[in-house]
Structure 1
Amino acid sequence: MSELDFDTLISPCSREQFFSEYWETKPLRISRRQPDYYGSLVSGSDIDYLLSVACLLDREGVELLGSKELREGSDKKPASALYQAYRQGASFRIRGINRFWKPIWTLCIRMQELFGFQVAANLYCTPADSRALDRHYDLHDTMLLQVAGRKNWRVFGSPIELPLEHVPLMKFERPIDGVQYRGAPVIRDVTAKYEPIEPSDEFVLEPGDLLYLPRGAVHEARSADSISAHVTIGIYPVTWVDLIAVALGQLGYQDVRLRKALPVGFNSADAAIKEEFDKLLNEVARSADVSKAMEEIRASLTWNQQAIGEGSIADSEPRSIDVETLIERRPGLSCRLVMDGDFVRLAACHGDLSLPKYFAKAIRFVSENQNFSVGAIPGGLSDHSKIILARRLINDGFFRVAKNSVHN
């Protein structure tokens, strides 16, 4: 199979059906009876290499799961010790496997472009008849791709609908395990209430199968009579809480009233505080700039992606380009349009291409399309100008001549 994208990942479910029926709503299980479905992504024979590389590059990102005795001091152990612990019944998790394995990295980048949210992947490997994690729910949406072996799953309801991954903290607050801010529930306490309740669904995932779990869905899994390996793709949504926090932060730099301290020795029963709070809240609703906040979020996602498009370094300048030449965005690169006064910019994490705003229609087209012929660039440009723009896009690392272009 060719490289996976989101549509092939959820096939035969359509993208439209997924977002209308399942996204943030209910689990989706796809049983394919195609054990090699993820062959182009990762296979069981790749796991030894991935474990070795992950231990060399990010030892703290490799965790032992399961028995407390086997986990003791695991973050200091070499790969050989992890292997021995695995042989004795421990599971292991490689966090951020997309950092070490190009096919998974490419899939995560493509999904990030589609969702507009951060996407990352972990690899789990569990010996036969074992459980890696106790019953729990996740604070982000997950897609589980069964790569090798079989795993028995039990899925329950969602005691908390769409729980938050995080909340903005004040300067004196620290993210500490066991400390809950803003009334956030303790996951282990919530899941404990599900101990006597029967699962809403119980099934076995086999190689090639997929399971989507919206955040908050309580679940547990146990390997069958052989080892089990699966990739969990985590989708970390930007929520309305995040958008409001960004907009409020931006407004705080513009309105000095929001930057003033609360009254010295403030008391929650102070009626004046409630009156001023309501007044400021109304001002925030009136003055906050949602477009500016969304633009900052998009810019932050692009910048923090820190991905250079494939071939940006090694590819040489094409010998010839004309209006029939097909060009494509370099795999792994996200681009966005930025209007900046009299200029328009095509922005990516590796740099910007800035042009007079006359090129706005052309750059918008470029930012919204993965591939196109040079002659299709809109905006009233002459063929000569289109070719020059295409060369800029290629030389500056945004695009490349498509591999199937007859002019390559």
Structure 2
Amino acid sequence: MMAKETGAIEVVRDEKIEPKSAGEIGFGDLIAPLTPDVFFREYWEQKPLVTRGRARGFFAPLFSTRDVDRAICYFKPRPGRLDLVTEGGFVRDNFLGPDGAANINLVYESYLKGSTVILSGLEETWETLAVFSRKVEALLNHPVAIAVYLTPPNHHGVQPHFDTQENFILQVEGVKHWKVYPPMRELPPVEGSYMPVPREKLPAPLCETELHPGDMLYLPRGFVHEAKAADSASLHITVDVHVRTWHDILSDALAAMADRESRLRKSLPPGILSDDRSRSSLEAGFRELMGLIQREARLSDALSKHAEKLIVSKPPPPDGHFAMLHADIGLNTPLQKRALMQTRRVQDEGLAGLQFSGNQLLGPAKIAEALRYIDESRVVVPAHLPGGLSDNEKLVLVRRLVRVGLLTHAREGSAEGRE
């Protein structure tokens, strides 16, 4: 059912969303009852959205107020990963100990005086949020970062600002009143930055809303916003999606082409800013290379570069894989991909490969069918690998994929064969 709150914000509500464990929460739970197709068609990069109806403690398994001091004390985040902010701006240095790490008692003191505590980079350090972020990345194929904001009662959080990433705000505890203003710039470049806006330059609010525990607010990048906690402390999780744009994919295509085309790696003619002949030479070379790029740039190369940044550079969550490194693996040993493993198959002239979370494996074209089977199967039995490989070649391949982090022993109860 659709409704309108103060201003132009759209609200959807679903009363059927039951509590889940941390490992069960996924992107679909943030936008329910909307489907991903509807969300991406009607809201993504376009307009704010509030979803309601989840149980009050729905998001608490991911991170709660009880976790804040544990994250500070045990993970020892440095400035940039731990920030204190007031409506006037960032609090600097006075909460740090001699070793540069936060003094938790000074953090408590600053918080009680009105500072919002911000913990960033939790997609790398907090297990439940790391797992959640990988699930979201697997669906969106865009990088995800996660931060937590703890605001004391009756205080503002960050001053009015806009972000250069897509934001999903998950209210965990307390109530927060939000004002959302029109965007200062349509689709600002994705820089992962925070852009404050002076109050005298703020237009009239586009909408206002209160988030209660279990609610979600989606803010497209560029929309200016501010928030104030109600009579109790407010904790929310911000899921930042640092979208990759058409500019990025074109840059990746050009970078991949430069890897194989030496003309793109030549230096520019000397004097191009001051000498007419150099500028003339530059113009001719520019037009020649633009023609070459138009003829030979390949989307598949750009996607490989994208996968290197999003998939290959990020190992799956730790799962005790050291125990597998000396495991006895035979032709009938059932194996499977490790949990939350993202994959992408690669094939080119004389080459076959698999890009996957944390690594990649490239080899001769004859392993292409075996890699396809491994990629598409829930359970991998080495003896069943297709493609005409010898028994020894099958064992060499799967043992290699265990060592480089893709495969592990199949769990009991896993169904054999493809999904």
Interval of TM-score (by shorter of Structure 1 and Structure 2): 0.7 to 0.9
Is the 1:248–1:288 Cα contact (8 Å) retained in structure 2? yes
Which letter does structure 1 place at the counterpart of 2:313?
A: N
For the pair 1:303 / 2:280, whether they are aligned, the reply is no
For the pair 1:23 / 2:72, whether they are aligned, the reply is no
What SS does the corresponding residue of 1:160 show, helix, strand or coil?
coil
Is the 2:159–2:196 Cα contact (8 Å) retained in structure 1? no
Task: Tell me what 2:355 maps to.
Answer: 347
Task: Tell me what 1:405 maps to.
Answer: 414
Residues 368 and 30 of structure 1: is their aligned pair in 2 closer, same or farther, counting only changes over 3 Å? Answer: farther
Task: Tell me what 1:52 maps to.
Answer: 73
Task: Tell me what 1:181 maps to.
Answer: none
1:28 Cα offset (Å): 2.1
Is the 1:343–1:357 Cα contact (8 Å) retained in structure 2? yes
For the pair 1:88 / 2:113, whether they are aligned, the reply is yes
CA distance in 2, matches of 1:232, 1:38: 11
- The size of the alignment, in residue pairs, is 384
Task: Tell me what 1:161 maps to.
Answer: 186
What SS does the corresponding residue of 1:313 show, helix, strand or coil?
helix
CA distance in 1, matches of 2:127, 2:117: 21
What SS does the corresponding residue of 1:99 show, helix, strand or coil?
helix
For the pair 1:61 / 2:90, whether they are aligned, the reply is no
Which one of 104, 118, 126 corresponds to residue 129 of structure 2?
104
CA distance in 1, matches of 2:329, 2:368: 28
Q: Which runs of 5+ in 1 are unaligned?
A: 168-176, 178-185
Task: Tell me what 1:334 maps to.
Answer: 342
CA distance in 2, matches of 1:99, 1:296: 22
What SS does the corresponding residue of 1:241 show, helix, strand or coil?
helix
1:249 Cα offset (Å): 3.4
Task: Tell me what 1:182 maps to.
Answer: none
Is the 1:135–1:218 Cα contact (8 Å) retained in structure 2? yes
Task: Tell me what 2:295 maps to.
Answer: 286
Which letter does structure 2 place at the counterpart of 1:333?
A: M
Residues 398 and 149 of structure 1: is their aligned pair in 2 closer, same or farther, counting only changes over 3 Å? Answer: same
Residues 257 and 69 of structure 1: is their aligned pair in 2 closer, same or farther, counting only changes over 3 Å? Answer: closer
The aligned runs of 1:234-383 (5 Å cut-off) are: 234-252=240-258, 254-256=261-263, 259-264=266-271, 266-267=273-274, 272=280, 275-276=283-284, 277-307=286-316, 310-314=319-323, 317=327, 328-339=336-347, 341-348=349-356, 350-353=358-361, 356-367=364-375, 371-372=378-379, 379=386
Identity %: 27
What SS does the corresponding residue of 1:222 show, helix, strand or coil?
strand
1:41 Cα offset (Å): 1.5
CA displacement, residues 148-173 of structure 1 (integer Å, 9 cap, x when unaligned): 11111111222322111249xxxxxx
**C-alpha RMSD of matched pairs (Å):** 3.8
1:336 Cα offset (Å): 2.6
TM-score (normalised: structure 2): 0.77
CA distance in 1, matches of 2:177, 2:157: 12
Which letter does structure 1 place at the counterpart of 2:306?
A: I
Task: Tell me what 2:151 maps to.
Answer: 126
Q: Which runs of 5+ in 2 are unaligned?
A: 1-19, 98-102
Task: Tell me what 2:234 maps to.
Answer: 228
Which one of 122, 129, 140 corresponds to residue 115 of structure 1?
140
Residues 132 and 363 of structure 1: is their aligned pair in 2 closer, same or farther, counting only changes over 3 Å? Answer: same
CA displacement, residues 343-383 of structure 1 (integer Å, 9 cap, x when unaligned): 433333544455653442342353356x357599784679x
What SS does the corresponding residue of 1:264 show, helix, strand or coil?
coil
TM-score (normalised: structure 1): 0.79
1:289 Cα offset (Å): 2.9
What SS does the corresponding residue of 2:202 show, helix, strand or coil?
coil
1:192 Cα offset (Å): 5.6
Which letter does structure 1 place at the counterpart of 2:271?
A: V
CA distance in 1, matches of 2:412, 2:63: 24
Task: Tell me what 1:180 maps to.
Answer: none
CA displacement, residues 235-260 of structure 1 (integer Å, 9 cap, x when unaligned): 11121112222333344452537734
Task: For CA contacts below 8 A with separation 6 or more, give which structure has more relative contact order.
Answer: 1
Which letter does structure 2 place at the counterpart of 1:215?
A: R
CA distance in 1, matches of 2:244, 2:357: 19
CA displacement, residues 122-160 of structure 1 (integer Å, 9 cap, x when unaligned): 111100111121111111111111111111111122232
More strand by share: 2
What SS does the corresponding residue of 1:104 show, helix, strand or coil?
helix
Residues 75 and 217 of structure 1: is their aligned pair in 2 closer, same or farther, counting only changes over 3 Å? Answer: same
CA distance in 2, matches of 1:208, 1:386: 52
1:98 Cα offset (Å): 2.0
CA distance in 1, matches of 2:195, 2:61: 35
Which one of 206, 210, 213 corresponds to residue 216 of structure 2?
210
What SS does the corresponding residue of 1:218 show, helix, strand or coil?
strand
